[in-house]
């Protein structure tokens, strides 16, 4: 954070590691630049307040927070855990970095913070990508296609 002195970290959510993360912020001397919201029922206002969404998961499924961030037009820097790499199009809607590589995570985040026009463009692409790949109508079509395929495998025809 020394490299970008005006940067603030907005840490949304709660969990068993919160106290440890807050203590780490104190130990690193950056606690005054961190905002811990705790659990929230609606993350959208917080996502809209951010320039870049970062998800540093080591283990992940398909993170709703990531989908929400991209739908809000925020470029994402994520680890390659779980479905993150399937959701973020590396270099187009954000960056995918290896798990347990804080240096690469920081470099990718700093790159977007230092290039706001790139971050904005990636955010716009993220919104379009979410509409195209993850909209309700797209999901319904995918489920219908899967149902039809399974029925055909079972010998049923429509």
We report the CATH number of the domain holding residue 84 as 3.40.50.2000
- Beta strands 53-55; 76-79: pairing state: parallel
Q: What sections of the chain are H helices per DSSP?
A: 18-27, 44-48, 64-71, 84-87, 102-114, 116-134, 136-153
**Is the pLDDT reported for residue 51 higher than 70?**
yes
pLDDT the model gives residue 143: 80
**Is position 154 within any domain?**
no
Over residues 107-139, the pLDDT tens digits come to 999 999 999 999 999 999 999 999 988 777 767
Mean pLDDT of 78-99: 96
Number of domains within the chain: 1
State how far the Cα of 90 lies from the Cα of 97, in Å rounded to an integer: 9
**Is the pLDDT reported for residue 69 higher than 90?**
yes
Average predicted confidence (pLDDT) for the chain: 91
Per the structure, the complete domain to which residue 109 belongs is given by: 42-133
**Is position 51 within any domain?**
yes
| Predicted TM-score (pTM) above 0.85 | no
**Is the pLDDT reported for residue 158 higher than 60?**
no
The answer to whether 22 touches 36, Cβ cutoff 8 Å, is: yes
């Amino acid at each position: 954070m020394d490299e970008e002195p005006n940067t603030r970290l907005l840490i949304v959510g709660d969990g068993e590691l919160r106290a440890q993360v807050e203590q780490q912020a104190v130990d690193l001397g950056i606690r005054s630049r961190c905002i811990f919201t705790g659990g929230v029922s609606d993350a959208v206002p917080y996502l809209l307040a951010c320039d870049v969404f970062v998800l540093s998961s080591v283990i992940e499924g398909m993170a709703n927070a990531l989908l929400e961030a991209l739908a809000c037009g925020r470029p994402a820097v994520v680890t390659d855990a779980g479905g993150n790499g399937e959701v973020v199009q590396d270099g187009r809607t954000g960056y995918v970095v290896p798990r347990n590589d804080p240096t690469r995570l920081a470099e990718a985040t700093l790159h977007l913070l230092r290039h706001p026009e790139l971050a904005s463009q990636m955010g716009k692409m993220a919104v379009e990508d979410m509409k195209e790949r993850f909209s309700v109508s797209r999901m319904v079509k995918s489920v219908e296609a899967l149902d039809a395929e399974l029925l055909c495998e079972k010998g049923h025809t429509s």
